[in-house]
Amino acid sequence: MSAFWMGRMLFVALASASAALPARTHAADSYPNRPIRLIVPFAPGGSNDILARTLAQRLTSRFGQTVVVDNRAGAGGIIGVETTARSAPDGYSLVMGHIGTHAVNPALYKSLPYDAARDFTPVAPVASSPNILLVHPSVAASSVKELVVLARSKPAQLNYASGGIGGSTHLSAELFKMMTGTDFVHVPYKGGGPALTAIIAGDVAMLFNNIVSAMPYVKSGKVRALGITSRQRSTAMTEVPTLAEAGVPGYEVVSWYGVLGPAGMPSAVVLRLNIAITAVMTSEEMRTRLAAEGVDIMKASPGEFAEYVKNEIAKWGKVIRQAGIRAD
């Protein structure tokens, strides 16, 4: 090939590349210029759905484009999450992810139609909610340390309830067992409500439960609160210590929620979404509203959120494998 044609080809390639760059930049600058779909991989009415609708309403006002919540429930969140993974990575199809969909399911199920680490772009965390360690008043333990001593003296004699296999109430207890060297018998129920009813009735000794639904029963003395699973004390119950400060150093479990999109989203669009979501969630209105419900605001850059999700996948994969947990 002559030097003339080689130079001609190089000129065309460079011209094409330089023409594409402004187009990509312009697309990011004009984002969004049409409605955004925010998929909720669960049925309407749950915490994931409520957070998504609250966020969508405020993003709609901020962007001047409608953010539509699309409930795609089924298979433990798998259907909605797969829908997102297979969508175009242009920022117009997002999902309200959850600890279950993106950190637990990869180890809980033998196979998934997507890779939780590779097939998504973490955009921004939204919020997190801790569990609270409860015991029935008949249990001879007024602190976490006393509960550990009691359980070690009676291996496999004390039981604990959960809201179902693989949920946060189940995994919170399994992590507690692993970190304290204790052995409780698992009694799964069909939901957090029946599990809470069981401990109030004295059918089980221990339960890790959602803090908001447990508060009335703690205050009435029907159950005893020993610790909060988050890293910091909950603003809803500041008198209850964290498990880490109560005798289990390093213990932390929160049900987190965050917005993710398909893999390969433009970084400028991701950053624009991250800034908008963070501004909405850190507003005084949202802080006050969610604090009353025992929910904490999360804030992180896209890179920090990606690292967080990666660490959560590794953490819960280890717990699930060691405990031998499998979805039915």
Per DSSP, the residues of 242-258 read BTTTTT-TT---EEEEE
Residue 134's alpha-carbon distances to 70, 195, 202, 223, in angstroms, are 35, 11, 12, 6
The pLDDT of residue 235 is: 85
Residue 46's pLDDT band, with cuts at 50, 70 and 90, is confident
What digits encode the pLDDT tens for the residues 114-165?
A: 999 999 999 999 999 999 999 999 999 999 999 999 999 999 999 999 999 9
Strand partners of residue 256: 128
Alpha helices in 30-139 (DSSP H): 47-63, 78-85, 99, 105-108
| Band of residue 14 on the pLDDT scale cut at 50, 70, 90 | very low
Query: What is the C-alpha R_g of the chain?
Result: 23
Query: CATH: 3.10.129.10, 3.30.70.20, 1.25.10.10, 3.40.190.10. Which one for 130-228?
Result: 3.40.190.10
Residue 236 has pLDDT above 90, yes or no: no
State the Cα torsion 263-165-250-308 to the nearest 10°.
10
pTM of the model: 0.87
Model confidence pLDDT, tens digit, residues 203-228? 999 999 998 889 999 999 999 999 99
Cα pseudo-dihedral 156, 157, 163, 169, rounded to 10? -60
- The runs of H, that is alpha helices, within the chain are 3-29, 47-63, 78-85, 99, 105-108, 144-153, 168-180, 192-201, 211-219, 267-281, 284-291, 302-323
281/78 Cα distance (integer angstroms): 26
Give me the residue spans of the domains in the chain. Answer: 28-129+254-323, 130-228
Asked whether the predicted pLDDT for residue 103 surpasses 80, the reply is yes
CA distances from 302 to 70, 223, 256, 270 (A): 23, 40, 15, 7
* Arch. (CATH architecture) of 28-129+254-323: 3-Layer(aba) Sandwich (3.40)
Peptide bond into 32 cis (omega under 30): yes
Across the chain, mean pLDDT equals: 91
At 114, phi and psi to the nearest 5?
-160, 165
Q: Are strands 120-135 and 206-210 parallel, antiparallel or unpaired?
A: antiparallel
Query: What share of the chain in percent tops pLDDT 70?
Result: 91
Q: Which two tokens stand for residue 164?
A: 């179902």
Asked if residue 283 has pLDDT above 80, the reply is yes
Interatomic CA distance for residues 176 and 183, integer angstroms:
10
